[in-house]
Amino acid sequence: MESQILDYLSQYGFIILFIAGFFGIVGIPVPEESLFVYIGILAKTHGISLVSAWLTISSGAFCGMITSYILGRKVGKPLLDRYGKYLGMNKSKVTKFVLHWDMKKSLFTGFFIPGIRQFNPYFAGVAKFPWPLFLLISVFGSLIWVLFYVMIGYVVSSYIAIKPVYLTIAGVIFFIIFVIQLLYKWRKSKNKAANTEC
């Protein structure tokens, strides 16, 4: 894995890191943090520029936030109105969700929660969250989120030799836990809705 990532970086430069940051927001909800930790390790052990890697991944994440926000703003409401019922989100639930959602807090802290960070900017667009404030939160959130995990890899690798396979396993475990938690909450809300109807 190490040589493969180094090969990609040597061939494509930091474009590959930008794409990783972008799809960390726009893509499927998986814990990209393990990759960021690994980039920190590579920065320490193989001389990759830590600052360049951090800023490149953060730029990708920021662009992902903007893309999701624009999608939510332009096509989000019609899509939720039409297909939300398949996700257990009818019009009244969408309105209630938007009204009671603490957007400022959720947008920032959501970076650290797989699944939440992918949906947050989309719903911010649906709710027409103020554009300047969204940009500000997205910039700082992206920078801090990426820096936190890159620095974990950079600092920890000074004291402990971390094998890439362990990071992959940790990423898979966290993803499985996330899916189980998501299914549990979905099942719970479905049962609650069925009991309410009765």
Task: Give residue-wise pLDDT tens across range 63-74.
Answer: 999 999 998 888
Expressed as residue numbers, the domain containing 63 is 2-197
User: Has residue 171 got a pLDDT over 60?
Assistant: no
Max avg pLDDT among 4-8, 97-101, 132-136: 132-136
Q: What is the pLDDT of residues 72-131, one digit of tens each?
A: 888 876 666 665 555 555 566 655 655 556 677 778 888 887 777 888 888 888 888 899
Could you tell me which residues come within 8 angstroms of residue 122 by beta carbon, excluding any fewer than 6 positions away? Answer: 68, 69, 71, 72, 76
Rg for the chain (alpha carbons), in Å? 19
Q: What is the mean pLDDT of the chain?
A: 76
Q: What pLDDT is attached to residue 117?
A: 82
Contact predicate 76/94, CB 8 Å = no
Which residue did the predictor score with more confidence, 38 or 134?
134
Q: What's the structural domain count of the chain?
A: 1
Q: What is the 3-state secondary structure (H, E, C) of the chain?
A: CHHHHHHHHHHHCCHHHHHHHHHHHHCCCCCCHHHHHHHHHHHHHCCCCHHHHHHHHHHHHHHHHHHHHHHHHHHHHHHHHHHHHHHCCCHHHHHHHHHHCCHHHHHHHHHHCCCHHHHHHHHHHHCCCCHHHHHHHHHHHHHHHHHHHHHHHHHHCCCCCCCHHHHHHHHHHHHHHHHHHHHHHHHHHHHHHHHHHC
Q: What pLDDT is attached to residue 75?
A: 80
User: Has residue 57 got a pLDDT over 80?
Assistant: yes
Gap between the Cα atoms of 21 and 15, Å rounded: 10
